Amino acid sequence: MTGTVVFGYDGSELAAFAIKHAATQLATPRDALVVCVWQPADVGFTPVGGQHFDADRATEVRDAAEETAARGAELAAGEGFSARGLAVEASPIWRGIITAAEDEGASLIVLGAHRHGPVGRLLGHVTPAVLAHFSSSVLVVHQPT
């Protein structure tokens, strides 16, 4: 397997660890795309009283996601990957990761597995959805203990 690897990167220590761990498991140099998915405000309901949510801050969120993706690409480059970052606006997050991977023709997605609450205790929220919907390989890197 030598195609592009896509890293789902959220700026966390776990995401950085997943990049470092993948470098020990995969041949480098190898093309990599580091994806940071961001979402505009989506409250999922119509506010009572017609309250308006100001979406002007969406630009700031996008800029921060671009900076985060660029930082992840720097980390990946430091581990021997030929990497570039990409900020993707998508909801849900897993869909943004998969779409970027499919657009790139990636052969592998690498994700760090967060452990959130009782439902996501083993894998987190994004990882199970990527595993269920991506038609190629996924490397899941668990949180170091």
How distant, in Å, are the alpha carbons of 29, 58, 98, 121 from that of 33?
13, 23, 12, 27
Q: Which residues of 50-75 are buried (b: 16+ CB within 10 A; e: fewer)?
A: eeeeeeeeeeebbeebeebbbbbbeb
**Residue 136 pLDDT more than 90?**
yes
Query: Structure pTM?
Result: 0.85
Q: For residue 35, which of 78, 71, 81, 3 has the smallest C-alpha distance?
A: 71
Give the bridge partners for 104, in sequence order: none
| Lowest model confidence (mean pLDDT) among 16-25, 54-63, 64-73 | 54-63
Give the pLDDT band (50/70/90) at residue 28.
confident
Question: Domains of the chain, with CATH numbers?
Answer: 18-30+62-80 (no CATH), 93-145 (3.40.50.620)
Predicted local confidence at residue 54, as pLDDT: 55
**Residue 129 pLDDT more than 80?**
yes
